[in-house]
Amino acid sequence: MFHLNVADLLSSYAGDSRELAFNGEVIPGFYPDIVFTKPLSFQLKLVSLDDGIEVIFEILQTEVEYEGDFYMVSISDISRTFREQYDPLAPDDIKFIDKGNIDLKEVLHEEILMAIL
């Protein structure tokens, strides 16, 4: 559901960017522990790096149910780096690009959980 093709940015110059937005329902069961009670809305900026893509969530908003409690989620200016190749010296939170695509599913899940816990 949140796979982005970034092949064009990978083949472009470092610093090239594009912006994307999403506003819509998230299907029940998409995450086993979170139920979206309102649409998920986010705006992000993708920035080409020499060896990957920087994903900047400019804003992310929704309402979720987690373990029987309801939470409003409003996050801004969150950055994650996706690399083309594994670097054993890189921090654990760096994600990887698979065949020119990045998957935001895990990142969205992590950011929402960090916001509500």
Task: Give the residue extent of every domain in the chain.
Answer: 3-116
Alpha helices in 1-117 (DSSP H): 7-10, 105-116
95 confidence band (pLDDT: 50, 70, 90): confident
Report pTM. 0.88
**Out of 19-23, 87-91, 94-98, least confident range:** 87-91
Which tens digit of pLDDT belongs to each residue from 38-55? 999 999 999 999 989 999
Interior CA angle at 42 toward 40 and 47, to 5°?
Answer: 145
Do 52 and 97 meet the contact criterion of CB atoms below 8 Å apart? yes
34 confidence band (pLDDT: 50, 70, 90): very high
The neighbour count for residue 61, using CB atoms within 10 Å, is 16
Q: How far is 117 from 109, CA to CA, in rounded Å?
A: 12
Do 53 and 81 meet the contact criterion of CB atoms below 8 Å apart? yes
Tell whether the model's pLDDT for residue 91 goes beyond 70.
no
Which tens digit of pLDDT belongs to each residue from 57-83? 999 999 999 999 999 999 999 999 998
